[in-house]
Amino acid sequence: MTNIDQAKEAVRDRVWRLLEREGAVPQGSYGKIPGFYGAEAAAERLAELEVWKTARTIKANPDRAQLPIRVHALKEGKLLYMAVPRMASLQPFFLLDPASLGLPPEQAAEKRGAAQVAQRVSIEDIPPIDLVICGSVAVNRSGARIGKGAGYSDLEVALLIEAGLVTDETTIVAPVHQLQVVDEEIPETEHDVSVDLIITPDEAIECTNRRRPQGLVWEDLTPEKIEAIPVLASRATAREQG
């Protein structure tokens, strides 16, 4: 691990332990994107904002913490895109269209429900994204975030940036428990994506230190990661040939 990796892991460990100690998450949340108590209240707070009301197309992580937001999106008629678990497909996103769900929004927005009824789509089939709902373990008020360490969220956003679907007009949102908002500096690398807005059950925090890559940072991807994600493997082959 690099020094940055170690520093991030230390923050993750502290926040995971704090959340469990304070009873802010179900036991067994260590090592995961925390499905925090109060996620419904955070979703309600986001739904009151103009940036949500004007959004038509949402990209969200499939974690439990974002489930109430996904349900809100479907109930309000917004197109919802969720990543296929581990992006294990050349069509790495699920499309949930409220006009043709086949399940109640509460079920369709869950991982299992989406796998049953959602259409798998490639990046080329996705329209511009208005809001990205980003699962996080910790964030600070400048917008730096830490996920659980697998890197999928940053990769998903980087692919959408490369395709011109996440732009300067797109707002990236982190719904978290108040205890996940940390005061310390969070180290960032070239591939890290910051958030524009933090939503907790208690407040909405606008972040000013926007950080986004121009796309994939190939130098930060291991051969194993590239091989494990079909859309990356396909693009790596195209890079080698072209």
- Sheet of strand 204-206, all strands in order from the earlier edge strand to the far edge: 119-121, 93-96, 79-83, 57-60, 131-133, 171-175, 197-199, 204-206
Residue type for 147, please? G
* pLDDT tens digits along 113-169: 999 999 999 999 999 999 999 999 999 999 999 999 888 999 999 999 999 999 999
* pLDDT tens digits along 39-53: 999 999 999 999 999
- Please tell us whether the domain made up of 3-238 is placed in CATH 3.40.50.10420: yes
Q: Half-sphere exposure of residue 124, counting CA atoms within 13 Å on the CB side?
A: 2
Q: Where are the alpha helices (DSSP H) in 124-229?
A: 152-162, 223-228
Distance of CA 106 to the CA centre of its chain: 19
Average pLDDT over residues 55-67: 96
* pLDDT tens digits along 195-240: 999 999 999 999 988 999 999 999 999 999 999 999 999 999 989 8
Q: 1: pLDDT confidence band, cut at 50, 70 and 90? A: low
Q: 86: pLDDT confidence band, cut at 50, 70 and 90? A: confident
Q: 85: pLDDT confidence band, cut at 50, 70 and 90? A: confident
- Is residue 66 within 8 A of residue 135, CB to CB? The reply is yes
* pLDDT tens digits along 5-37: 999 999 999 999 999 999 999 999 999 999 999
Where are the domains positioned within the chain? 3-238
